[in-house]
Amino acid sequence: MTIQKLDTFDPITRKMQNLDALRAERLPLRLYRWLVSLEGRFAKLRSRRQLAALEDWQLEDIGITPERRDRELNKSFWD
């Protein structure tokens, strides 16, 4: 999975900053990769919350069955 742009709050400068720029300045590679991975997982969590809010007729419009939605919603944060 490739994430184009990740903005995050930088507590040192107290500004929003792109993670790529932050990596170039002072983050160790291992920590940078962890942050990128974590951001991807939170994106999935947000997407699953939006999916949970859809009505059955909305699911039908986008071609998802209620059973498939339930399977997706039952996945853990790490999946």
Q: pLDDT (tens digit, 9 = 90+) per residue, 25-39?
A: 666 778 878 888 888
In the three-class reduction of DSSP (H, G, I as helix; E, B as strand; rest coil), residue 16 is classed as strand
13 has a pLDDT exceeding 90? no
Domain boundaries, the chain: 7-73
Mean pLDDT of the chain: 78
Cα separation of 22 and 20, whole Å? 5
Interval 32-61: pLDDT, tens: 788 888 888 888 889 899 999 999 999 999
Q: CA gyration radius for the chain?
A: 17
2 has a pLDDT exceeding 50? no
Please say whether the beta carbons of 2 and 33 come within 8 A.
no
Quickly count: other Cβ atoms within 10 Å of residue 23's Cβ.
Answer: 17
Give the closest residue to 51 by CA, choosing from 39, 68, 38: 68
Give the closest residue to 33 by CA, choosing from 9, 41, 11: 41
